[in-house]
Amino acid sequence: METDKYSSDTPVHTAAEDKFSRWAFAERVADVISERKGPSPITIGLYGPWGDGKTSVLNFIEESIKTKGSVIVVRFNPWIFGNVESLLLGFFNVLADALDTELITKGEKLKDFLKKTAPGIASFAGMKGIGDAVGSFLHGPSITQLRERIENELEKSQKRILVMIDDVDRLEKAEIYAIFKLVKLVADFKFTAYLLAFDKAIVASSLSENYSGAHEKSGEQFLEKIIQVPLHLPAVPDKDLRHFCFQGVDEALNSSEISLSEQQVQEFARDFTRAFDENLTTPRKAKLYGNILMFSLPILKGEVNPVDLMLIEGLRVFVPELYDTIRKNKDSFAGAFRESMHTNTEPEKQRIKELIDNSFSLAGIKQPYGYIELLKNIFPKIKSVYGNMSYGSDWYQIWDEGQRICASGYFDRYFTYSVPKGDFPDTALTLLVEKVHREKCKLSSNNNPLSDVLTPENSGALIRKLRNKSNILNEDESIALSLAISYSAGIFPNPESMFGWDAPHTQAAMLVSDLIQNVDNSKRVDIIKECIDKSATIAFQLEIFRWLRREDQERPEKDSFPEKDITNIARHLAKSLENYLKSSVDVTVESSRIAPQIFYILNQYSKNKIAFKHVMQVLDADNSAVIRLLDLYTPTAWGMESGVSHKSNFERDQYDSVTKIFDPDFILSYIERYLGNLPEDQKNFPRDFDQEGREIVLHQFVWIHRRVLQENSKEEA
């Protein structure tokens, strides 16, 4: 049976469980109570903040008293009662139960007596104040006789009563007041001791509010009248509390089967102690931190940097105000500043600093140095806020590989405890590469592990992670993954955008190029050809060819393809493009974004004139297709504010590109066929054409063509 991995907040009872050297203190309190001579009562206050172990010390005192045999211990927890009336009745019933069991052995039991007498408390309390109600009850003729009887029995048996009252500081303000009025009224019982455990600041504040117009110290003064022996819970030495906390961290790491390097241990210990030592004030906080790690470390194992996770969880426990600021302001913490001569980053740095400072103010932190150092170590951007540190673009890959919280692709994981939709788990990535490698010889469009997990939503993250990982893959893994990517090409989104290179479709082709670098030179050409053959789309075939690394005398690149290999691959690609055009009805419609690339490859590396034949067939079937043909080469413009795209003007660069593929007279003949005749009055370059459709490109082509003829005539002259 699996044991509970979480550290319990249940109080301990025995000396063997004492982690903070408090047993001796508890024994001394027990001795004071059990060794008292005479009948006089005593009221002791045990002060300590929430979570500091007050209940455990009460348990120690009770265990120690049991060995003396001279004290009857009555435990009363007022927190379990729902209102003032039930609280008062509950107190007397608990007291009666204990005395009936251990003291009164014959005659009328106290419990039976209370059943007859005590119901009047509730109704009486409703008419008068709590103090009056309890006072009247305690000093009535019958209860006075019973009280004398109890005191006589205690004196005969040489026993005392110790009433322990815990969790006073958890009560509502009216209930806190009722408990202390009750203790004050019953404190003169002979042979009786009261031990109340509570947070003094909370209780004193609540009592102050019961005195109209009283000053802020009135609550403390009220306590001084009741508590005869005020005791503060012995402080836990910082080193012991830190050791206790780190034990919880070790348990969480071991339970999660996560091993930290010596460097990671040092980084964690340095930042944790520098930032959180002042906040690690109670054992409960230490337990809470360990339990949170027990939850978060396993669920994010392999998906985030464990040291970053432990530190950000520390902020969640000890400084939630700062944690919330970070969680809600991703752009202010993730990544780094893009420094340039055209950008002034100082206003943004000042804004981030104000965000952080405001969090410190809300948390009441007056000495934030340790927290700032922690932030600087896990968020490089904060080093720029509090200094002049800057980072180049190569750091982004380092942060990604380290699964750091400062990496935009990983930031959200630290706060959602999951891999966000559209991301891809790092743990699944390694398994995927292994599975693709195993299936290398069986890969096909129907048997492809990559296609099984790839979606349009997660493709960007998956390709980015594989690109970061590509340089550590071996040759067989690289070949298998290249083929799997080619088979899956149809899944990669390829939206038209201002910067098309960041689309998953293009990034996937770049990844194939990266992977090919891991393959022996003698195999590369054949592998690229196979990737082209296996590609699910013509667009991806072209994209693979586009991103091949080519030799360049001006910019030599290691392991680039020489020109003869590029030609070899291009001719292989051209055959595939020829077959595509033969099966296509109208490439200007079906493949408008890639048609110019198709025409270029065929013009350069094929002698079969397939592109010309296809276009002529299209133009003959539809004269208006000449507009679409020229629009294939017309650049797309993007609205800077709206982001909406539209076709720009057909200009000289586009004319040169088209006429390298198709004879200008060939195009002019179809323009004339479509318009009826060629435009005559073309003094100025045609712009702002009012006619419907895109006929303006026809007029622009004609205008440019005539200027080219004039230039050629001048050169010949």
Q: What is the pLDDT at residue 452?
A: 93
Q: Look at the chain and count its residues.
A: 717
What mean pLDDT is reported for the chain?
A: 85
CA–CA gap between residue 84 and residue 94 (Å, rounded): 15
Q: Tell me the per-residue pLDDT of 220-229, one tens digit each, with 9 for 90 and over.
A: 888 888 888 8
How many Cβ atoms from other residues are within 10 Å of residue 254's Cβ?
Answer: 12
Q: Tell me the per-residue pLDDT of 502-550, one tens digit each, with 9 for 90 and over.
A: 899 999 999 999 999 999 999 999 999 999 999 999 999 999 999 998 8
The pTM assigned to this predicted structure is 0.74
User: Would you say the C-alpha torsion 627, 632, 635, 636 has a positive or negative sign?
Assistant: positive
Helix (H, G, I), strand (E, B) or coil at 474: coil
Q: Tell me the per-residue pLDDT of 451-505, one tens digit each, with 9 for 90 and over.
A: 999 999 999 999 999 998 898 999 999 999 999 999 999 999 988 766 667 899 9
Q: What is the pLDDT at residue 127?
A: 43
The residue type found at 110 is L
Mean predicted confidence (pLDDT) in 582-610: 93
CA–CA gap between residue 319 and residue 371 (Å, rounded): 9
**196-205, 373-382, 560-569, range with the lowest pLDDT:** 196-205
Q: What is the pLDDT at residue 109?
A: 66
Non-local CB neighbours of 399 within 8 Å, separated by 6+ positions = 380, 406, 407, 410
Q: Tell me the per-residue pLDDT of 63-117, one tens digit each, with 9 for 90 and over.
A: 998 888 788 888 888 877 766 666 666 777 777 777 776 666 666 666 666 566 5
Q: What is the pLDDT at residue 375?
A: 96
Helix (H, G, I), strand (E, B) or coil at 47: strand
Mean predicted confidence (pLDDT) in 224-249: 87
CA–CA gap between residue 370 and residue 353 (Å, rounded): 15
Q: Where are the beta strands (DSSP E) in 519-657?
A: 636-638, 645-647
Eight-state DSSP code of residue 200: H
Q: What is the pLDDT at residue 580?
A: 95
- Asked if pLDDT for residue 368 goes beyond 70, the answer is yes
Q: Tell me the per-residue pLDDT of 690-714, one tens digit each, with 9 for 90 and over.
A: 556 788 999 999 999 999 998 888 7
Are the beta carbons of 356 and 323 closer than 8 angstroms?
Answer: no
- Asked if pLDDT for residue 140 goes beyond 60, the answer is no
Q: Tell me the per-residue pLDDT of 536-589, one tens digit each, with 9 for 90 and over.
A: 999 999 999 999 988 776 655 557 899 999 999 999 999 999 999 999 889 999
Residue 235: φ, ψ to 5°: -65, 145
- Asked if pLDDT for residue 132 goes beyond 80, the answer is no
Name the residue with tokens 């993730």: 334
Are the beta carbons of 610 and 578 closer than 8 angstroms?
Answer: yes
∠ Cα 587 588 593 (to 5°): 95
Helix (H, G, I), strand (E, B) or coil at 412: coil
Model confidence at 125, pLDDT cuts 50, 70, 90, reads very low
Helices (H), 584-692: 587-590, 595-605, 610-621, 625-631, 652-661, 664-675
Model confidence at 274, pLDDT cuts 50, 70, 90, reads very high
